[in-house]
Amino acid sequence: IEQLLGALGELHRQSIVHRDVKLENILMSHDGVIKLGDLGLVKLCDAQKITRTGVLLGTAQYMPPEYIRYNRYEPAGDVYAVGIALYEMLTGKRRLAGLTGVEAIQQLFKTDFEIPREPLRGVPEKYLRILDVALSSNPKKRYKNADEMLRAFKGLLDSNGSPELQSSPG
C-alpha distance from residue 50 to each of 8, 33, 53, 77, 158 (Å) = 22, 33, 9, 18, 37
How far is it, in rounded angstroms, from Cα 52 to Cα 39? 20
| pLDDT the model gives residue 165 | 37
Interval 108-136: pLDDT, tens: 999 999 999 999 999 989 889 999 999 99
80 and 67 Cβ atoms separated by less than 8 Å: no
Task: Decide if pLDDT at 40 tops 90.
Answer: no
Q: Which residues contact 1 (CB under 8 A, 6 or more apart)?
A: 82, 86, 89, 153
> How many angstroms from the chain centroid is the CA of residue 165?
26
Active site residues: 20
**Mean pLDDT of the residues in the chain:** 87
Interval 21-38: pLDDT, tens: 999 999 999 999 999 999
Range in 94-108, 117-131, 156-170 the model is least confident about: 156-170
How far is it, in rounded angstroms, from Cα 2 to Cα 81? 14
| pLDDT the model gives residue 54 | 59
Q: pLDDT grade, residue 3 (50/70/90)?
A: very high
Output the pTM of the full model. 0.85
Number of H helices, E strands in the chain: 6, 4
